[in-house]
């Protein structure tokens, strides 16, 4: 599994596909969807599974074509393309939506969920739906959350065992103010940067480290340059699959229903794909020389609690956090 490091170029073929492929030909609808990950990453496979489901249910009338490996751009750009209706669908992490859709900040808060299972229960239930419903104001239709496990810190300098070890490290974060605040709260220096630029930045020393889950640490080959992986598990932010409201509004009510149902089915499929890939990735990075350590999370939880005061501003957000904490 490889996602080629370095800045991603939008391929000419992909651009041509965007400019010439009408998504609504006479009676066949091929929805174009973007993903930053390589073709064999679970998120890509889950959307392809959704396409199979749709295609089967409509005798080939409705399907999805996924453009993987950031062919159509990095997440911040593809989100905009989806809002404008240039892209029909997009699979991104929730964090790059933080600055646009306030409620997406909630599942992006450090140490909010007590376990991956609790996160799934919250996101697959009414709280998850409330967050997805809030996308519509911004020209997007939230369809389903996908697993993303837990994110931990990795770097080129030293194992992170205590808060002191974070001091002064330059850490890449996804493009979100909340992530910048989170790293500052730990006494480190945040550098927001697109995913595809991280490998090069680790290599040149422009950054010392980043944070991600096992499958991304592996698929990007970041483990080859940043070998200290420290199990902070500070974030359990999910992935999300969404559609352009412009595309959505052109579809019949029946097709909208089919799409929602197929998206939920793909989220179930993703559970399976994810668990298998987490194991594969863990074993591969350890074999590849990554040095993994556990740490006492308490001081990190305490230090990061200040971001709640800073970013949880509305009564709706406060209430949602209370409901999540009450979910077993
Ligand atoms: C991955 C996620 C990607 C992207 C990436 C990042 O875990 O699946 O969508 O957001 O993290 O750190 O940019």
Same domain membership, residue 220 and residue 76: no
Instruction: Report yes or no on 214 lying in a domain.
Output: yes
Q: Which of 277, 253, 291 is nearest to 149 (CA)?
A: 277
| Domain of 320, in residue numbers | 151-236+281-326
Q: What is the structure's pLDDT at 18?
A: 55
Binding site membership of 108 for ligand 1 (Cβ less than 6 Å): no
The three state secondary structure string of the chain is CCCCCCCCCCCHHHHHHHHHCCCECCCCEEEEEEECCCCCCHHHHHHHHHHHHHHHHCCCCEEEEEECCCCCCCHHHHHHHHHHCCCCEEEEECHHHCCCCHHHHHHHCCCCCCCHHHHHHHHCCHHHHHHHHCCHHHCEEEEEEECCCCEEEEECCCCCCCHHHHCCCEEEECCCHHHHHHHHHCCCEEEECCHHHHHHHHHHCCCCEEEECHHHHHHCCHHHHCCEEEEEEEECCCEEEEEEHHHHHHCCHHHHHHHHHHHHHHHHHHHHHHHHHHHHHHHHHHHCCCEEECCCCHHHHHHHCHHHHHHCCCHHHHHHHHHHHCCC
Q: What is the structure's pLDDT at 22?
A: 43
Same domain membership, residue 125 and residue 205: no
* Shortest-distance Cα residue to atom 10 of ligand 1: 93
Same domain membership, residue 250 and residue 140: yes
Binding site membership of 78 for ligand 1 (Cβ less than 6 Å): no
Q: What is the structure's pLDDT at 268?
A: 96
Give 243-297 pLDDT, tens digit per residue. Answer: 999 999 999 999 999 999 999 999 999 999 999 999 999 999 999 999 999 999 9
Same domain membership, residue 171 and residue 39: no
Binding site membership of 212 for ligand 1 (Cβ less than 6 Å): yes
Please determine, for residue 85, whether its predicted confidence score (pLDDT) is greater than 60.
Answer: yes
Same domain membership, residue 77 and residue 186: no
Give 242-258 pLDDT, tens digit per residue. Answer: 999 999 999 999 999 99
Q: Measured between alpha carbons, how far is 34 from 20 in angstroms, rounded to an integer?
A: 17
CA of 195 to the centre of ligand 1 (A): 7
Same domain membership, residue 314 and residue 176: yes
Q: What is the mean pLDDT of residues 119-125?
A: 96
- Sheet hosting strand 140-146, strand order edge to edge: 62-67, 29-35, 89-93, 239-244, 140-146
Binding site membership of 34 for ligand 1 (Cβ less than 6 Å): no
| Matching residue, tokens 């006492």 | 296
Binding site membership of 74 for ligand 1 (Cβ less than 6 Å): no
Binding site membership of 213 for ligand 1 (Cβ less than 6 Å): yes
Instruction: Report yes or no on 107 lying in a domain.
Output: no
Same domain membership, residue 122 and residue 37: yes
Binding site membership of 77 for ligand 1 (Cβ less than 6 Å): no
Q: What is the mean pLDDT of residues 107-135?
A: 97
Q: Which pair of tokens denotes residue 267?
A: 């989220």
Same domain membership, residue 184 and residue 81: no
Same domain membership, residue 241 and residue 166: no
Q: Which of 213, 247, 233 is nearest to 37 (CA)?
A: 213
Q: What is the mean pLDDT of residues 151-168?
A: 98
Instruction: Report yes or no on 105 lying in a domain.
Output: no
Percent share of the chain, pLDDT over 70 = 92
Q: Contact, 33 vs 87, CB < 8 A?
A: yes
CA of 109 to the centre of ligand 1 (A): 15
Work out how many domains the chain is built from and give that number.
Answer: 2
CA of 34 to the centre of ligand 1 (A): 13
Q: What is the CATH number of the domain that holds 255?
A: 3.40.190.170
Q: Which atom of ligand 1 is nearest to the CA of 41?
A: 8
Q: What is the mean pLDDT of residues 174-200?
A: 98
Please determine, for residue 8, whether its predicted confidence score (pLDDT) is greater than 80.
Answer: no
Per-residue confidence band for 27, with pLDDT thresholds at 50, 70 and 90:
confident
Q: What is the structure's pLDDT at 7?
A: 41
Instruction: Report yes or no on 89 lying in a domain.
Output: yes
More confident residue, 217 or 7: 217
Same domain membership, residue 160 and residue 132: no
* Shortest-distance Cα residue to atom 13 of ligand 1: 195
HSE-CB at 126 with a 13 A cutoff on CA atoms is: 4
Residue among 1, 75, 97, 180 whose CB has most ligand 1 atoms within 8 A, to mutate: 75
Q: What is the structure's pLDDT at 100?
A: 98
Binding site membership of 176 for ligand 1 (Cβ less than 6 Å): no
More confident residue, 324 or 8: 324
Per-residue confidence band for 23, with pLDDT thresholds at 50, 70 and 90:
low
- The pLDDT mean for the chain works out to 94
Q: What is the mean pLDDT of residues 147-174?
A: 98
CA of 280 to the centre of ligand 1 (A): 18
CA of 25 to the centre of ligand 1 (A): 33
Binding site membership of 71 for ligand 1 (Cβ less than 6 Å): no
Binding site membership of 148 for ligand 1 (Cβ less than 6 Å): yes
More confident residue, 17 or 204: 204
């Amino acid at each position: 599994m490889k996602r080629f490091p370095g800045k991603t170029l939008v391929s000419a073929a992909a651009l041509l596909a965007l400019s010439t492929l009408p998504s609504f030909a006479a009676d066949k609808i091929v929805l174009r969807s973007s993903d930053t990950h390589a073709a064999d990453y679970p998120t890509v496979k889950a959307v392809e599974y959704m396409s199979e489901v749709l295609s089967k249910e409509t005798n080939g009338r409705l399907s999805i074509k996924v453009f993987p490996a950031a062919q159509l751009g990095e997440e911040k750009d593809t989100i905009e393309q989806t809002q404008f209706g240039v892209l029909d669908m997009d699979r991104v992490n929730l964090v790059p939506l933080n600055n646009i859709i306030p409620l997406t900040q909630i599942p992006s808060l450090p140490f909010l969920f007590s376990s991956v299972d609790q996160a799934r229960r919250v996101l697959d239930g009414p709280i998850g739906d409330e967050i997805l419903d809030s996308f519509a104001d911004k020209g997007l239709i939230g369809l389903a959350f996908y697993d993303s496990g837990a994110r931990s810190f990795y770097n080129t300098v030293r194992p992170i065992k205590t808060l002191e070890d974070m001091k002064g490290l330059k850490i890449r974060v996804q493009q979100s103010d909340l992530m910048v605040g989170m790293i500052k709260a730990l006494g480190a220096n945040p550098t927001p940067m697109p995913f595809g630029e991280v490998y090069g930045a680790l290599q040149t020393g422009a950054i010392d480290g980043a944070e991600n889950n096992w499958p991304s640490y592996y698929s990007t080959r970041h483990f080859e340059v940043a070998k200290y992986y420290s199990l902070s598990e500070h974030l359990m932010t999910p992935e999300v699959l969404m559609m352009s409201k412009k595309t959505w509004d052109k579809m019949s009510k029946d097709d909208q229903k089919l799409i929602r149902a197929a998206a939920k089915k793909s989220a179930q499929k993703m559970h399976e794909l994810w668990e298998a890939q987490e194991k594969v990735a863990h074993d591969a990075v350890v074999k590849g020389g990554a040095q993994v350590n556990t740490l006492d999370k308490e001081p990190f939880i305490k230090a990061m609690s200040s971001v709640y005061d800073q970013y949880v501003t509305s009564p709706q957000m406060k209430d949602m956090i209370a409901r999540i904490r009450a979910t077993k």
